[in-house]
Structure 1
Amino acid sequence: MLHANAVLTPRQRLRLARLVVEENWPKSRAAEFFGVAWKTADRWAERYRSLGKAGMVDRSSRPRTSPGKTDPATTKRIVSLRLRKRWGAVRLAAETGVAPSTAGAVLRRCGMNRLSRLERREQVVVRYEREAPGDLLHADVKKLGNIPAGGGWRFLGQQAGKANRHHDGGRARNRYRNPLMGHGFIHVVLDDHSRTAYAEICEDETGPTAAAVLHQAVAWFAARGVTARRVLTDNGGCYRSRDWATACAELSITAKRTRPYRPQTNGKVERFNRTMTSEWAFAQLFTSEADRRAAFPAWLHAYNHHRPHTGIGGHPPISRLTNLPGQYI
């Protein structure tokens, strides 16, 4: 690998060597032309004569022999004691008759200088799926910044996006003196078994809004033959509110929350959010927030009815809700 201040790349070395060897340039002239020392030009020319083009790459700086290197038997014993006894470099040195720095160097070379690397265990990925639709719903809120008229910075660049934001924004400013465009809050309720999703774009993420979305989501699933029994959420404020608890009680749904700082537990809806942002929110240039929101229902329908889902064998989510009228429209 070339260092940051290298004057000659392998390609430039080849040019220099060919000028000297094939075109009979004086080495001093070639060195002056490429801005290097005469000795450097001489070295690459001689390598080209003996090795050709293959000689233009860097050679390893590792010495051919290392007389002071710890012998294999001692290295093996240090490694064995480290694995069995978990001893440090000082104790290993006293046991094997080498210096502590030598024992430490052996451990670093073998990747065993940290005990944490010896405690690695295979992590068993626990995947679960409810047996029937409605056994578990996942709920979450995805917050997205609104798009200014003319388009945002993701497609137009920082300068044009900032100009559109200043032109379309109001008087309210953030700490960077940029106009506040507001946010859209996509409330998502996703069925664990089928991955079928119900979603609404709202103006806030308060308890009453989340409760209203849950009522509408349960009715939407009921129209498709799915009876909701349990709902899993994170620990957001809207899901800890009294309105959410009341809505779950009215719908006879058991409310569960994930352990704090463990979004993996609600991973199915988190993955839906990622798909939603990449395939809808940031998939193309929208010149206004209204245009982006207008495109959302069509994308959600395509997700539920047509898009293959790898988690269920490459079939669309709606295929797991059987005997539905218009299921494959």
Structure 2
Amino acid sequence: MSRDIVDGMKPKNLVIVRAVHDQGLSHVEAAARFGVTRQWVHTLVRRYEDEGPDGVAPRSRAPKTRPGTTVPAIRDRIIQLRRELTRSGADAGPVTIVWHLEQEGHPAPSTSTIRRILHTAGLITPAPKKRPRNSYIRFQADLPNECWQADITHWFLADGTRIEILDFLDDHARYLLDIRPAAAFTGPMVTAVMTELIRRYGPPMSTLTDNGLVFTTRLARHKGARGGFEKLLAAHGITQKNGRPGHPQTQGKIERFHQTLKRWLKAHPLPDTIDDLAVLLTEFTTWYNTRRPHRSLGRRTPEQAYTDLPKATPTSTSDTTEWRSRTDKVDKNGKVTIRYAGHLRHLGIGRAHTGTPVLLLVHDRDVTVSSMNTGQIIAEFTIDPAKNYQPKKP
């Protein structure tokens, strides 16, 4: 066997050349005999004369230049960004990497190219059972302040103490309006935070929360007055919306936000105190609102989305006055209790009526107390929300 063929040369090409050189066939005759074009015979003969047997070896058809190929420096930066973002607890997907490249002034490849680079580098774990994004039914408020979502989640201190975290999120912009820790949040504490936010940002058109007692008393075992949070919303004409029990998907944005929050917190050492956690949450707020592009916001930050459009305002015109009634018995100190705005209020009726069963008729802040034995009105009150003990009207 010819050494030329053993060296890997394509046998047919070499035979064609030798038919011309050794057997005296013309280019046209060789083309007809071997079923190729005359131009190809001419090319093979020229290569053979210039380079010898190596010249007729098969050649790659790949282009000599690849203008669309990602340069090594950008490829290395993509891998570096992926590792840095993952290590810091931030989102590290292709869309986020594109945003960071653009912020640094680098030309960014397509997200599909970035995904291939990350796959090649072994930095993506396949998730074949993950639900596709296009299968979700999405809802988003049209304007900032059209809907605020609120919820309570938790985190831990270094000694294992479980700490609650209260957060408020704008539905349209995903703007983090407020986040703070506490050992445990009560209704009045949540109401105070909401009051502060209304002063800071103006009242929203609506709120969306779960059915926790700090937000609503509508599912309480023992029906009573509306809580302080509910009364605050009513006073500002804010529409209150609550998710269906056992259906957290209704508050999907803030539930998804908690994933981002906890991934970021996991990348940092556990704080020693609640104050340390508060400092950490302040740092997170700045990063989340101003330095993190959001996929659902066209790669804008929540701060940009919140400030780009005018703010929605309350439109509620319904009667928010509270009407209810309850029965009680005057205690030995001459008092009965009633819950108003999340607090128990003590109504001073007088020891002369100790043991008397009474009917309380509540019209918002006004309470009329009558004896269930005689039907006679024995006391009237106007609740002062700043006080627990309520003296009767003269």
TM-score by length of 1: 0.47
Larger Rg: 2
TM-score by length of 2: 0.39
Question: Greater strand percent: which structure?
Answer: 2
